[in-house]
Structure formats: structure tokens, C-alpha cells
């Protein structure tokens, strides 16, 4: 009897109607659709990466997955345009714990490279890049493909108030189970398809999907895109060069604060008065002096390689010599 898929579907449907059971269905990727010319839509891309570690400047991407979809001005998902999935062979061997987590081995990615031209072409018409915990994926994506620095980004994990809509957390697998599905986690394109269904899921508390349900906050900020994830997109920098310079300065400030905390206590008039804003201004001023010595600042804004640490120590010695 279990070979009859129609019988299984009927049983699952019957169980789902009972308050005593919950049914999870295997997530199936949506088939691409043909956009209609008479419907106003915008295009977004859901992106996910699998990597050899958490450091966006030192670790490497081993898999990139993307799903391109169209949505209406009020945030309703219309359909999937295309999908992208590719492996990348890293320079260093994939750590054993990463293979255990993702199932991606050195043998699986051997000889594979992600085509940069294909990536740029895929995201060219997208007005928004969405990732679950975008702070992680964005760092890797912008390092590998500069086109992502020119795109607006949004985070589906932090910019939608999932607890407000009856979920106890924002973990991807947990949200997907709430939508009634299960999937192969920690594989890039599968996670993208999972996030698409989560964003299309009709929230039981209000009877509509996550994007338009959270869109009230976006509308208050003048957004016509719809959805809470559009809020951050409206604030994304228009000048990627300026954005990089700001990140460089923030990273230099962070290195200065670490240096100030690690060196022997040497109080001055600013620190003695206990004025925290003043101390921060003093630390930022020292960071500016670092930039003056280092020229253009840190090479990538997040590089903590040995050569950069050496440059910082040299700069610190020169600053101390000037005092």
C-alpha cells in the first residue's frame, strides 16, 4: 500500500486535517515560470553559500546556490525564474567537520570553479539579494564577486519578527517545519528553495505570507517593495566604494580598541574622567591616525592576515614615536 503515492497523499491530507497530527512534506523545488508582461513585478535573488569556515576573508566558498524569483509590489511571490548551483574547489582541504555538516567532500568539488561571468549575469536584473543571516553570506559573496557590493541586501532571519507571528526562533529548518516541509539542510540551493517557501508561507496568525505581513513597517518608511526585508534594502549604500571605506575605518577602529585593551594600563585625562563617549572618540581619533600612517587603510576592510597585522604594529610604533 505504501507504494501507492496517491494513497499516501490522501493519508497525509487526512492527518493534516486533525489537530492531533502534523504532517511534514518533502520540499520540492518550484518549476520556472514565464513572466507575464501585463503584471508589474520586481526581481529578487535568494542566495546561500557553503564555506570552509566562518571567516569571510580567510575561508573559502565551496558551494554557491541562488534562486531568482519575481514578486509583486505588495510582496507576493509570483514564481521562480531560474536557479543557480555550482561547486568551487578550495585551495586548502575541506575540514572534516564541514564535510560532516554539509556532505561536501574534497572529491565532490575537485576540479570545479564558479563562473564569475555567469554569477554576474544571473544577478544582473535583481533589485534585492536575500539571505538567511545575510551578514555571513554577504561577506563571502562581495569578496568573490564585486557585483554584490552594488546590490541591496536583506536578511530574512533578523528583519522579520518571526516570534511575533508564532515562531519560537528564526532557524531555517525550524521555520520550514512550521511551513509544513522538510529538506536536505546545509546544501546551498536546497536552502534557497527552503527560504523561498518560508517567504511564501501564509502565516496562520494573520492569514498572509511573511513579506507583506511585515510590510507595514516598510510602508511606514516609504518602501513600495513590501516586506520587512525591504527595510534594510532601502538603506543600502548607493556608493560601494564609500561603503568599503566605512568598513575599513570600522575594522581599523576595532583593531585599535583591541590594542588599547591588550597593552598595559596607561591612563590619561580622557580615560580618568570615565566619559565613555569621550574615550570612544579618543579611540576613533587614534584609528584615524592609523589610517594616515597606513595610507589607504587595511587592504580589504576585514583582513587580519600576518602582513596586515605587521603593518598595524609598525603604524602603532610610528604613532607612539610621534607622541
Name the pLDDT band for 148 (thresholds 50, 70, 90).
very high
d(CA 293, CA 299): 13
Q: Which is nearest to 123 in space by CA: 162, 82, 176?
A: 82
Q: Which residue's entry shows cell 571567516? A: 55
Q: Report residue 253 as a C-alpha cell.
A: 577602529
Final residue of a structural domain among 212, 233, 254 = 233
- Number of separate domains in the chain: 2
For 241-277, write each residue's pLDDT tens digit: 445 556 666 666 666 666 666 655 544 444 445 566 6
Count other Cβ atoms within 10 Å, centred on residue 2: 7
Compute the average pLDDT of residues 220-247.
Answer: 44
The answer to whether residues 205 and 86 belong to one domain is yes
Q: How far is CA 105 from each of CA 63, 128, 141, 173, rounded to the nearest angstrom?
A: 11, 31, 21, 22
Question: What is the predicted pLDDT for the residue at 234?
Answer: 40
6 belongs to a structural domain: no
10 belongs to a structural domain: no
7 belongs to a structural domain: no
Residue 207 has pLDDT above 80, yes or no: no
The answer to whether residues 259 and 216 belong to one domain is no
The answer to whether residues 206 and 259 belong to one domain is no
The answer to whether residues 252 and 317 belong to one domain is yes
Question: What is the predicted pLDDT for the residue at 262?
Answer: 60
Residue 188 has pLDDT above 50, yes or no: yes
Question: What is the predicted pLDDT for the residue at 152?
Answer: 93
Q: In terms of residue numbers, what domain contains 224?
A: 22-233
3-state secondary structure the chain: CCCCHHHHHHHHHHHHCCCCCCCCEECCCCCECCCCCCCCCEEEEEEEEEECCCCCCCCCEEEEEEEEEEECCCCCEEEEEEEEEEECCCCCCCCHHHHHHHCCCHHHHCCCCCCHHHHHHHHCCCCEEEECCHHHHHHHHHHHCHHHHHCCEEECCCCCCHHHHCCCCCCHHHHHHHCCEECCCCCHHHHHHHHHHHHHCEECCCCEEHHHHCHHHHHHCCCCCCCCHHHHHHCCCCCHHHHHHHHHHHHHHHHHHHHHHHCCCCCCHHHHCCCHHHHHHHHHHHHHHHHHHHCCCCCCCCCCCHHHHHHHHHHHHHHHHHC
Final residue of a structural domain among 209, 233, 257 = 233
The answer to whether residues 177 and 254 belong to one domain is no
Compute the average pLDDT of residues 39-49.
Answer: 93
13 belongs to a structural domain: no
The per-residue pLDDT of the chain, averaged, comes to 76
Question: What is the predicted pLDDT for the residue at 73?
Answer: 83
The proportion of the chain whose per-residue pLDDT surpasses 90, expressed as a percent, equals: 38
The answer to whether residues 176 and 216 belong to one domain is yes
The answer to whether residues 269 and 205 belong to one domain is no
Question: What is the predicted pLDDT for the residue at 256?
Answer: 64
What is the layout of strands, in order, in the sheet containing 61-71?
Answer: 77-87, 61-71, 42-51, 128-131, 153-155
Question: What is the predicted pLDDT for the residue at 320?
Answer: 57
Question: What is the predicted pLDDT for the residue at 174?
Answer: 87
d(CA 167, CA 30): 24
pTM here is 0.65
Residue 138 has pLDDT above 60, yes or no: yes
Listed range (94-108, 136-150, 274-288) with the worst mean pLDDT: 274-288
Question: What is the predicted pLDDT for the residue at 276?
Answer: 61
Tell me the CA end-to-end span of the chain in Å, nearest whole number. Answer: 84
The answer to whether residues 193 and 271 belong to one domain is no
The answer to whether residues 61 and 157 belong to one domain is yes
The DSSP bridge pattern shows strands 153-155 and 181-182 to be: unpaired
Name the pLDDT band for 301 (thresholds 50, 70, 90).
very low
Residue 317 has pLDDT above 50, yes or no: yes
For 4-41, write each residue's pLDDT tens digit: 667 777 887 787 777 777 778 878 888 888 877 788 89
CB 297 within 8 A of CB 252: yes
255 belongs to a structural domain: yes
Looking at the DSSP bridge assignments, the partners of residue 202 are 209
| 105/269: higher pLDDT | 105
Amino acid at each position: 500500500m505504501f507504494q501507492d503515492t496517491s494513497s499516501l497523499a490522501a493519508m497525509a491530507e487526512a492527518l493534516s486535517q486533525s489537530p492531533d497530527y502534523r504532517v511534514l512534506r518533502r520540499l520540492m523545488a518550484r518549476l520556472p515560470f514565464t513572466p507575464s508582461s501585463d503584471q508589474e513585478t520586481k526581481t529578487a535573488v535568494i542566495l546561500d553559500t557553503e564555506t570552509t569556515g566562518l571567516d569571510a576573508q580567510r575561508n573559502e566558498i565551496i558551494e554557491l546556490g541562488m534562486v531568482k524569483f519575481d514578486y509583486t509590489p505588495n510582496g507576493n511571490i509570483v514564481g521562480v525564474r531560474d536557479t543557480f548551483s555550482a561547486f568551487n574547489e578550495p585551495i586548502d582541504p575541506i575540514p572534516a567537520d564541514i564535510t560532516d555538516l554539509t556532505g561536501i567532500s574534497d572529491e565532490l568539488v575537485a576540479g570545479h570553479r564558479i563562473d564569475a561571468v555567469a554569477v554576474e549575469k544571473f544577478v544582473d536584473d535583481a533589485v534585492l539579494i536575500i539571505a538567511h543571516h545575510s551578514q555571513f553570506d554577504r561577506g563571502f559573496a562581495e569578496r568573490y564577486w564585486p557585483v554584490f557590493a552594488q546590490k541591496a541586501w536583506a536578511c530574512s532571519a533578523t528583519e522579520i519578527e518571526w516570534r511575533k507571528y508564532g515562531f519560537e526562533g528564526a532557524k531555517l529548518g525550524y521555520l520550514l517545519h512550521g511551513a509544513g516541509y522538510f529538506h536536505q539542510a546545509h546544501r546551498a540551493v536546497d536552502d534557497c528553495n527552503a527560504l523561498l517557501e518560508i517567504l511564501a508561507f501564509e502565516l496562520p496568525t494573520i492569514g498572509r505570507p511573511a513579506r507583506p505581513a511585515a510590510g507595514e513597517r516598510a510602508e511606514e518608511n516609504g518602501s513600495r517593495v513590501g516586506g520587512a526585508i525591504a527595510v534594510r534594502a532601502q538603506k543600502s549604500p548607493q556608493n560601494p566604494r564609500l561603503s568599503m571605506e566605512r568598513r575599513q575605518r570600522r575594522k581599523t577602529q576595532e583593531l585599535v580598541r583591541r590594542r588599547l585593551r591588550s597593552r598595559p594600563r596607561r591612563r590619561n585625562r580622557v580615560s580618568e574622567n570615565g566619559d565613555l563617549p569621550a574615550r570612544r572618540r579618543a579611540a576613533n581619533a587614534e584609528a584615524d591616525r592609523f589610517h594616515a600612517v597606513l595610507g589607504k587603510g587595511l587592504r580589504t576592510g576585514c583582513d587580519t592576515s600576518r602582513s596586515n597585522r605587521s603593518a598595524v604594529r609598525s603604524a602603532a610604533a610610528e604613532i607612539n614615536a610621534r607622541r
